């Protein structure tokens, strides 16, 4: 029987998410990226197998870089528009990523919209990737970047059109969101089956999570709706997903204080991630969501920023209190307001910040 080399880190993170009493230190992810040198990764004639092998090699290299709480994981995402593609939306290539083209020209088309099979579009490709990853590797397999039902609805209809329809045709918006949520459940179940016990329900950030955490959504339009509209249209979808999968992890690009009461209404909310550049203060978020894992990062290229990732990390660790479930995610760059460009992270400075607080990491 093979011993899991990451068992102690997983045990710590399982308690971090699920134990009644939080561990006695924050978690930490230092998101340094070091691409493999040419010729270092074994090749395979099958493109999916080749991609899985390359991901496994990169994930294992990342694990030994800084000795943080990162657990190597394989990525299976086919982009933020994958769910929309399954409904039939066309995709525009935008430099390695994809934008979904509006599918529904008139919201009345919702009346005859059908839920697609999980084999459709880029979702089918991602599930095949998951099956190959499960066959080739013992590493954990991350969930798809499923966005949220609300986000997928904006991709299918258009942002302005969907938001106006919340006032003009609310029943059709609800119908559309229900169909998309049903599809989310099908996709989540299909990937769980394909990944088996290697399934990790959180795609971003790369903080390993046990299966019991449930499901993740990236609900970036949380910021653009008033709390009453959000609670009427998006919240019921999230409550359904949390109920079906036993919990929910929510990403939003930022998080304003007026939306914190909305998140408190999600049953078994397990974790929240956002960019803190323009969000409510860390302490305010953590006090509003007791017992919930909070995994913030900072990057947003706006006026509100920090001088370095190390300075930001020191600020976040100083705000930690016993009982908090705080997991800062240090990214490879930070936006520099003076040069209006990316400033590389000083990883040695970040490690010094962690060392100065005196907490010991796992493996």
pLDDT in tens, 71-126: 999 999 888 999 999 999 999 988 777 889 999 999 999 999 999 999 999 999 99
3-class secondary structure, 321: coil
Residue with tokens 């008139």: 106
Q: How many CB atoms lie within 10 A of CB 66?
A: 20
Domain boundaries, the chain: 7-357
Per-residue pLDDT band for 66 (boundaries 50, 70, 90) equals: low
CATH number for region 7-357: 3.20.20.210
Query: Does the model's pTM come out above 0.85?
Result: yes
> Which region among 121-125, 161-165, 230-234, 301-305 has the lowest average model confidence (pLDDT)?
301-305
DSSP 116: P
Token reading at 162: 């969907």
**Cα distances (Å, whole numbers) of residue 144 to 18, 81, 256:** 22, 11, 26
Per-residue pLDDT band for 363 (boundaries 50, 70, 90) equals: very low
Distance spanning both ends of the chain, measured CA to CA: 20
Predicted local distance difference test score (pLDDT) of residue 362:
53
Structural Rg of the chain based on CA atoms: 20
Is pLDDT above 50 for 267? yes
β-strand pairing of 333-336 with 341-344? antiparallel
User: To 10 degrees, what angle do helices 149-157 and 170-195 make?
Assistant: 120
């Amino acid at each position: 029987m093979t011993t899991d080399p990451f068992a102690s880190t997983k045990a710590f993170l399982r308690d971090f998410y699920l134990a009644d009493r939080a561990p006695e230190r924050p978690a930490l992810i230092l998101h340094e990226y070091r691409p493999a040198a040419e010729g270092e990764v074994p090749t395979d004639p099958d493109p999916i197998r080749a991609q899985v092998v390359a991901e496994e090699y990169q994930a294992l290299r990342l694990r030994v870089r800084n000795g943080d709480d990162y657990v190597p994981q394989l990525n299976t995402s086919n982009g933020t528009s994958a769910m929309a593609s399954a409904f039939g939306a066309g995709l525009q290539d935008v430099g390695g990523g994809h934008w979904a083209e509006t599918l529904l020209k008139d919201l009345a088309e919702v009346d005859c919209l059908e839920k697609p099979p999980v084999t459709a579009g880029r979702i089918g490709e991602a599930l095949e990737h998951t099956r190959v990853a499960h066959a080739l590797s013992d590493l954990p397999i991350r969930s798809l970047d499923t966005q949220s039902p609300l986000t997928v609805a904006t991709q299918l209809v258009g942002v302005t059109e969907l938001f106006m329809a919340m006032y003009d045709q609310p029943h059709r918006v609800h119908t559309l969101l229900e169909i998309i949520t049903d599809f989310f459940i099908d996709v989540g179940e299909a990937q769980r089956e394909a990944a088996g016990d290697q399934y990790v329900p959180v795609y971003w950030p790369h903080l390993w999570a046990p299966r019991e955490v449930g499901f993740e959504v990236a609900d970036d339009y949380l910021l653009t709706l008033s709390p009453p509209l959000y609670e009427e249209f998006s919240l019921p979808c999230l409550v359904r997903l949390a109920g079906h999968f036993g919990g929910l992890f929510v990403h939003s690009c930022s998080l304003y204080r007026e939306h914190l009461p909305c998140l408190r209404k999600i049953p078994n909310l397990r974790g929240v991630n956002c960019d803190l550049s323009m969000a409510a203060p860390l302490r305010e978020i953590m006090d509003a969501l007791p017992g919930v894992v909070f995994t913030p990062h900072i990057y947003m290229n706006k006026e509100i920023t920090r001088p370095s990732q190390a300075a930001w990390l020191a600020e976040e660790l100083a705000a930690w209190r016993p009982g908090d479930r705080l997991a800062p995610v240090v990214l490879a760059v930070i936006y520099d307001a003076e040069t209006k460009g990316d400033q590389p992270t000083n990883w040695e400075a970040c490690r010094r910040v962690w060392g100065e607080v005196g907490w010991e990491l796992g493996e």
